[in-house]
Amino acid sequence: MKNKSLLMLVLGVLSGSLSAKDYLISTPNTSLLITANPGEKSKFQYYGSRISEKDIQGIYDSSLTFGVESYPVFGLKTAGERAMAVTHSDGNMTLDLVVENVRQYTEKDGDVTEIRMKDLVYPFILKQFFKAYKGTDVISTWVEVENNGKKPVTLHRFASAFFPVHRGDNWMTHFHGFWGAESTMEEEKLTNGQKVISNKDGLVNSESDNPSFLLSLDGRPQEEYGRVLGGTLAWTGTYLIKMDVKNTSFMVSAGINEETSHYVLDGKKTFVTPEFAMTYSTSGKGGVSRAFHRWARAYKLNRGNIPHDILLNSWEGVYFKVDQKEMDQMMEHFSAMGGELFVMDDGWFGNKYPRNTGSSSLGDWEVCKEKLPDGIEGLLESAKKHNIKFGIWIEPEMANTKSELFEQHPDWILRVANRPLSTGRGKTQVVLDLTNPEVQDFVFGVVDNLMTKYPEIAYMKWDDNCCLLDYGSSYLPKDRQSHIYIEYQRGLNKVLKRIRAKYPNLVMQACAGGGGRVNYGILPYFDEFWTSDNTDALQRIYLQWGISNFYPAIAMASHVSADKNHQTGRRIPLKFRFDVAMSGRLGMEIQPRDMTEEDKAFAKRAIASYKKVRSVVQLGDLYRLVSPYDRKGISSLMYVTPEKDRAVFYVYKIEHFVNMLIPSVRMNGLDAQKMYRLADLTAAKADKPCPLDGKVISGKVLMEEGVVLKEILKKEYSSMVLELQEVK
């Protein structure tokens, strides 16, 4: 494919016509190059630093082009991994796709290149899309399959993305997890063979591996230099991401996990895969993260550019022991500390079966009269009295076998008719069959009824504490049972779309037994996510570090909880707990009544400080400075505004030994020419800020030489949060 005609390319791209050969898809700093000639296979040529048309010949001449099929399908020349495999109605298991035409057009959020391919024999069309999101360095890809025949085609494999990567000293970073230990960073050199990250939960997918990865081309990935590709699958169901690594090639595929999900595509119907989004950075992992954060805030979060309130969530404070007096008391205390929003968690509903443990009542979304005799009205009145907003917890996709809903609608449950029913939490939790439109209406109604009756509700925490247990739907026909994993997600999407259309300003948190739904499949409907049920400040440094690779601070709920911590039993000073929580969307998860007056006074100051820098944290660019995974005894990060006039710097002592070595920390992202005034945001004693407070230091010194911390980080769990402001 060398010696391309540049003229041909330019003409082709300008006209978007059938004669086009090379399609250059560019963002401000990246480019992707596809060759698509009508009647031929479409080819993936290049993905990397931004190039212009005049560089294309050089890309070919330096053999940087791959020349591999952009969407290889199974059947002819069968050896190797394929993006798609099908069976036609006559039993033929092959596809043979060639380009029919290419269209390029602009949508509200990006520029789309659509490569239409057709099978040479069967009435089967595949459109491969690439979308360059405006103002970001993210390009996404997905495919749409059209069965133009009369009879069904069965899809056995249907990747969203399939692309080559240059083979070298490749490292992969992924984010493994489990309840309480979500997004634990794993970094490894890729050797020949296959490396798979996947999930088979059915409903939530990030309590195992997050569906995201980083690939370094230059050895162990670094924060601010080196070539790193980042990819994430925008899907919240089962998924499979595979690295197929050989001495001579390296292919990545990503999509829905097709095992047990073969899809029967009826005649005249279309199947669309989820979107896979990627970016490429020559400034290491930091560049990848900043690109995804910008993209998320602009396009993949509900109202991602509006800073979030500081909230108190009732869960760790009272667990299921919700009542009017307790809620009122929590609101009063939190409001006095400067809090802005109170969220009543689990335990508020159910009358025939009041919700006192995790083993009953899901589905019975009526206020428990015994616990809350004044109803939601009473709570809203309290909120008004204490000048605070009010939010509420729901888990609407679920039921318990001990619930009125289960008694009334046993057929609304995902279950297998001739087998015993499996149950989850509390040995009674079951999953509603969201493939069923009636159930979709019910789930929509959980939100809609609350919002219609109480439009003052400002926030909902939407939880899911169960995986898809029994693979059986009484709604789907017998020969479509293999669609359950997919149809469930479609049903959920429909519900969430309706909610967003009607309640665009309702702030919603995606929670799933902690951080089980942190992915870009579900986040577009939500404003934020619950990062983990683990609120231990030390472990949170690791969890949040992992999460921050793909997800922005504005969405990362980070709460100050009790001493001692309920998950780990660790005791950590309140200042350190605040300093960690203030690096995300600050909140509290505590019984405020149990706090000392001194602690409350500190919390009040910390909350006031956070308000001052909230926009920098939630909307700024993240620079990770010292990784907790590097075991240097400290961890550090900072946020900087795009104008580089303000920043917030965090450092934490995470190990403690006598006379230990404490490295100085060099900042990043500032303007070397600017002078910055430093202010200690969370001094333990208001009149005793740290020695850096008030100092004016140049961006050059802060970035090239850094700050020495050995006098500041003396004690166990010492920490510091500094505000930096440009001095003009």
Q: 149 or 317, CB closer to ligand GLA?
A: 317
DSSP, res 11: H
How many CB atoms lie under 10 A from the CB of residue 298? 16
| Per-residue contact flags (x/-) with ligand GLA for residues 386 to 405, judged by CB under 6 A | -------x------------
Q: How far is the CB of 5 from ligand GLA (least distance, A)?
A: 58
- Parallel, antiparallel, or unpaired: how do β-strands 528-530 and 556-561 relate? parallel
Q: What angle do CA 151, 154, 158 make, to 5 degrees?
A: 135
Q: What angle do CA 391, 395, 401 make, to 5 degrees?
A: 140
Q: How far is the CB of 312 from ligand GLA (least distance, A)?
A: 13
Q: How far is the CB of 544 from ligand GLA (least distance, A)?
A: 16
How many CB atoms lie under 10 A from the CB of residue 655? 14
Calculate the CA 387 to chain-centre distance.
Answer: 32
Q: Does 382 bind ligand GLA (CB under 6 A)?
A: no
**What residues from 119 to 158 belong to the interface with ligand GLA (CB under 6 A)?**
none
Among 193-201, 362-370, 510-518, 697-705, which window interacts with ligand GLA (CB under 6 A)? 510-518
Among 19-27, 197-205, 506-514, 609-617, which window interacts with ligand GLA (CB under 6 A)? 506-514
- The overall longest dimension of the chain from CA atoms, in Å, is 81
Q: Does 12 bind ligand GLA (CB under 6 A)?
A: no
Q: Which helix (H) or strand (E) holds 336?
A: helix 324-336
Question: What residue number has its CB nearest to ligand GLA?
Answer: 346
Residue in 592, 661, 609, 654 with CA at minimum distance from that of residue 627: 654
Residue in 543, 553, 527 with CA at minimum distance from that of residue 620: 553
- Parallel, antiparallel, or unpaired: how do β-strands 556-561 and 585-589 relate? parallel
Could you tell me if 206 and 529 are in contact, meaning their C-beta atoms sit under 8 angstroms apart? no
Q: 158 or 462, CB closer to ligand GLA?
A: 462
Could you tell me if 172 and 214 are in contact, meaning their C-beta atoms sit under 8 angstroms apart? yes
Which of 530, 551, 649, 717 binds ligand GLA (CB under 6 A)? It is 530
Q: Does 350 bind ligand GLA (CB under 6 A)?
A: no
Could you tell me if 340 and 311 are in contact, meaning their C-beta atoms sit under 8 angstroms apart? yes
Q: 398 or 619, CB closer to ligand GLA?
A: 398
Q: How far is the CB of 356 from ligand GLA (least distance, A)?
A: 11
Dist. CA 625–CA 664, nearest whole Å: 11
Helical ranges in 387-436 per DSSP H: 404-408
Q: Does 511 bind ligand GLA (CB under 6 A)?
A: yes
Q: 216 or 400, CB closer to ligand GLA?
A: 400
Dist. CA 38–CA 117, nearest whole Å: 9
Dist. CA 656–CA 715, nearest whole Å: 8
Residue in 587, 592, 578, 585 with CA at minimum distance from that of residue 614: 585
Q: Does 513 bind ligand GLA (CB under 6 A)?
A: yes
Q: Does 650 bind ligand GLA (CB under 6 A)?
A: no
- Parallel, antiparallel, or unpaired: how do β-strands 556-561 and 311-313 relate? unpaired
Which of 258, 346, 397, 680 binds ligand GLA (CB under 6 A)? It is 346
Q: Does 433 bind ligand GLA (CB under 6 A)?
A: no
Q: Which two tokens stand for residue 282?
A: 């020559």
Q: Does 345 bind ligand GLA (CB under 6 A)?
A: yes
Kindly determine how many residues on this chain lie close enough to bind ligand GLA according to the rule CB under 6 A.
12
| Per-residue contact flags (x/-) with ligand GLA for residues 290 to 329, judged by CB under 6 A | -------------------------x--------------
Half-sphere exposure of 192 (CA within 13 A, CB side): 4
Q: How far is the CB of 410 from ligand GLA (least distance, A)?
A: 24
Q: Residue 10, SS3?
A: helix
Q: 335 or 532, CB closer to ligand GLA?
A: 532
Q: Does 364 bind ligand GLA (CB under 6 A)?
A: no
**Residue 410 φ/ψ, nearest 5 degrees:** -60, -25
Q: 557 or 626, CB closer to ligand GLA?
A: 557
Q: How far is the CB of 205 from ligand GLA (least distance, A)?
A: 15
In single-letter form, the type of residue at position 193 comes to G
Q: 69 or 326, CB closer to ligand GLA?
A: 326
Which of 201, 463, 536, 680 binds ligand GLA (CB under 6 A)? It is 463
Q: How far is the CB of 540 from ligand GLA (least distance, A)?
A: 14
**Residue 404 φ/ψ, nearest 5 degrees:** -70, -35
Q: 271 or 530, CB closer to ligand GLA?
A: 530
Q: Does 201 bind ligand GLA (CB under 6 A)?
A: no
Q: How far is the CB of 359 from ligand GLA (least distance, A)?
A: 11
Could you tell me if 671 and 701 are in contact, meaning their C-beta atoms sit under 8 angstroms apart? no
Q: How far is the CB of 315 from ligand GLA (least distance, A)?
A: 5
What lies within 8 Å, CB to CB, of 145 at 6+ separation is 84, 124, 125, 126, 127, 155, 158, 265, 270, 271, 272
**What residues from 266 to 285 belong to the interface with ligand GLA (CB under 6 A)?**
none
Which of 261, 465, 531, 725 binds ligand GLA (CB under 6 A)? It is 465
Q: 199 or 429, CB closer to ligand GLA?
A: 429
DSSP for 599-633, written as a single string: HHHHHHHHHHHHHHHHHHHHHSEEEEEE-GGG-SS
Q: 309 or 316, CB closer to ligand GLA?
A: 316
Q: 543 or 622, CB closer to ligand GLA?
A: 543
Radius of gyration of the chain (CA): 27
Strands (E), 149-219: 153-164, 171-176, 184-189, 193-199, 212-216
Which of 12, 237, 514, 633 binds ligand GLA (CB under 6 A)? It is 514
Q: 346 or 364, CB closer to ligand GLA?
A: 346
Which of 328, 397, 433, 533 binds ligand GLA (CB under 6 A)? It is 533
Q: How far is the CB of 480 from ligand GLA (least distance, A)?
A: 32
Q: How far is the CB of 513 from ligand GLA (least distance, A)?
A: 5
* Chain residues that interact with ligand GLA, rule: CB under 6 A: 315, 345-346, 358, 393, 463, 465, 511, 513-514, 530, 533
